Amino acid sequence: YQEALRVFPEVDVVVMAAAVSDFYPAEKEEEKISKKERKELTLTLLPTPDILAEMGKGKEKQFLVGFSAETDQALERAREKMRDKGLNMIVVNDISRKDIGFGSEFNQVTILHQDGGQRESPRAHKRLISRAIMDEIVARLSDLNTP
């Protein structure tokens, strides 16, 4: 978290494909917890700081890209994330489908832009999807840098 924020002012583009985690344990044990000594364990979890949201608050010239894995109301939730985090672009994954996404070599995404632009990808191999995402980033950067 700290290292990402430290180098952030030096970069032009940030692509955050996934959160590190949504939660972390509130307490850290110094030693291994033995199941012989404890038959039950209750964990208290706290929200992990949102690296991308922090970057969005402090961005100047940077182009920020996030991802949103959703099961329902995907586009609405992704637009809200994009706005709340100050993103330039967000890639929306519908994780309710079994033929794409997690556990599959294929995906189909929707790319949303802060200016309201939207682009749907066809179902394709993840390698092709990643290239399409990078092409979209390059095109947007070119548009921003064209007088």
Q: What is the CATH number of the domain that holds 73?
A: 3.40.50.10300
Mean pLDDT of the 15-21 span: 85
- For residues 83 and 109, the answer to whether their CB atoms sit within 8 Å is no
Domain span including residue 41: 2-145
Which 8-state DSSP code applies to residue 91?
A: E
Distance, in Å, from the CA atom of 30 to the CA atom of 87, rounded to the nearest integer, reads: 38
* Mean pLDDT across the chain: 92
Which pLDDT score is estimated for 38? Answer: 82
Q: Considering its fold, how many domains does the chain have in total? A: 1
pLDDT band with cut points at 50, 70 and 90 for residue 10: very high
Which 8-state DSSP code applies to residue 16?
A: E
**Cross-strand pairs, 23:** 47
